[in-house]
Structure 1
Amino acid sequence: MSRAVTTRRKTINTVLAWSIGILIFFPILWTILTSFKTEAQAINDPPLFLFFDWTLENYSVVQERSDYMRFLWNSVIIAGGSTLIGVMIAIPAAWSMAFVPSRRTKDILLWMLSTKMLPAVGVLYPIYLIFIELGLLDTRIGLVVVIMLINLPIIVWMLYTYFKEIPGEILEAARMDGASLREEIIYVLTPMAVPGIASTMLLNFILAWNEAFWTLNLTAAQAAPLTAFIASYSSPEGLFYAKLSAASTMAIAPILILGWFSQKQLVRGLTFGAVK
């Protein structure tokens, strides 16, 4: 029997949740507001919150100075390509770990996750030399591969936890009906884990979209995504906060819209298997 939750407890939880949400979202809100200010208003002391002269000048300057659509297209290809390839590799890997018993499964998962603890700068030099040798420097293919490999441990780990919630008896029944290994993964396992796969793809798409270290070090002009687009507004002359905020807003707008429309799927995937 579940315990009754008092109205006071609900109110406290609601206020606390809204407070944390506003605190987390405030830097994004401040960036958006700053993008509509003039440069003088952006550095005004005390800061101006809502009462300032709203202007679209920064957006027009950013659009004139940079080819925003080229950076956007590069980001879509790099983030989308690395996520799709990563999921295609991770689904069979997670299946084998979840449904083929092994005493080493947890050790392998921990080892994979430990690779995320390595500072990226520690492997920059060898990867940079490999890219030069293979002609992958400043190419979208090169960035797709390196970002996919960086995020692959997280994809495998997340899919493994989702697959573990699926009863193995269902897969055994499919095998008894004559399903091959390929058919078992594609037609039985994958449809049942769609919420988990979708949330995994969304989270890793966001990680790839926001990746800055590798995109700044392995690109110059041709394959530069939106992270390089933002970095281009940091110049030796100083920071132009209003224009930098406009560029940042243009860079995060697509991913904010994607997150907003897919939030139900994301929540469903993150709670997949939590309630029996």
Structure 2
Amino acid sequence: MARAITPRRKALNTAIAWAIGLVIFFPILWVFVLSLKTEGSAILPPLDVLRAPWTFESYGLVQERSNYFRHFSNSVIIAVGSTFLGLLVAVPAAWAMAFVPSKRTKNILLWMLSTKMLPAVGVLYPIYLLFIRMGLLDSRLGLTIVLMLINLPIIVWMLYTYFREIPGEILEAARMDGASLREEVLYVLTPMAIPGMASTVLLNIILAWNEAFWTLNLTAAQAAPLTAFIASYSSPEGLFYAKLSAASVMAIAPILIMGWFSQKQLVRGLTFGAVK
């Protein structure tokens, strides 16, 4: 029997949830506030910042100094490209691990996940040299491949979890009806795992969008995404708080909007198979 929740307990839980949400969201809110101030106002104490005049001057200066739309298009191509390139590799791998029994499956999954524990700077030098030799330095193709490889363990792990929730008998029935391996994966397995695959796609786009280490070290101008666009407002002379905040808002706004409209699908995918 479910335990009844009193109105007082419900109100307390709601208040705690709102408090935690505000604490998490406050840095984004404050960055947005600073982006609407001048450089002189942005360095004032918090109460004086709120009383200072509001202006869109910083956004105009950022657009004049930097080509925002070029950085934006680079971020979209790199994030979406690396995610879907990862899916092409991860779907067959996760299918094999989920439906082809093997004693080594767990060991392989743990080994793949262990690669995420390696500090990125540990492999920066060899990858940098490879990029120079292959002509991939400061290219969207090179960065797409690197981010795909970085996030591939997460994609495989998530898809493996979702595929395991699909009854193997359904795939066996498809084979008995004459479905080939390709048809089994494309027309039977994939449609049933759409909620899980959608959440995997959304999560990995966010991870690739926010990746800063590799984008700052493997790009210069042509392929620089929005993370490099933000970093360009940190200089030896100091931080330009208002312009840096405006650049940050312009960089995170697209991914926040995407997350807002896809939150239902993301939650549905992340809880896929949790209740039977």
TM-score, normalising length from structure 2?
Answer: 0.98
**Whole-Å separation in 2 of the counterparts to 1:11 and 1:191:** 40
Deviates more, 1:43-52 or 1:123-132: 43-52
Unaligned runs of 5+ in 2: none
- The aligned residue for residue 59 of structure 1 is 59
Deviations 1:8-52 (A, max 9, x none): 222222111111111111111111111001112111024446433
**Whole-Å separation in 2 of the counterparts to 1:49 and 1:266:** 36
- The aligned residue for residue 40 of structure 2 is 40
- The aligned residue for residue 222 of structure 2 is 222
Deviations 1:49-80 (A, max 9, x none): 64331100000000000000000000000001
Listed as ranges, the matches of 1:184-195 within 5 Å are: 184-195=184-195
Q: Output the aligned Cα RMSD.
A: 1.0
Aligned with 1:54: secondary structure?
Answer: coil
Unaligned runs of 5+ in 1: none
Aligned with 1:2: secondary structure?
Answer: coil
C-alpha displacement of 1:106: 1.0
Question: Identity across aligned pairs (percent)?
Answer: 78
**Whole-Å separation in 1 of the counterparts to 2:199 and 2:47:** 38
Deviations 1:196-253 (A, max 9, x none): 0000100000000001100110011110000010010011111010000000000001
Q: Which amino acid aligns with 2:24?
A: I
- Relative to 1, partners in 2 of residues 1:209 and 1:48: Cα closer, same or farther, differing over 3 Å? farther
**Whole-Å separation in 2 of the counterparts to 1:84 and 1:74:** 15
Aligned with 1:273: secondary structure?
Answer: coil
Listed as ranges, the matches of 1:1-276 within 5 Å are: 1-48=1-48, 50-276=50-276
Q: Which amino acid aligns with 2:61?
A: V
C-alpha displacement of 1:5: 2.1
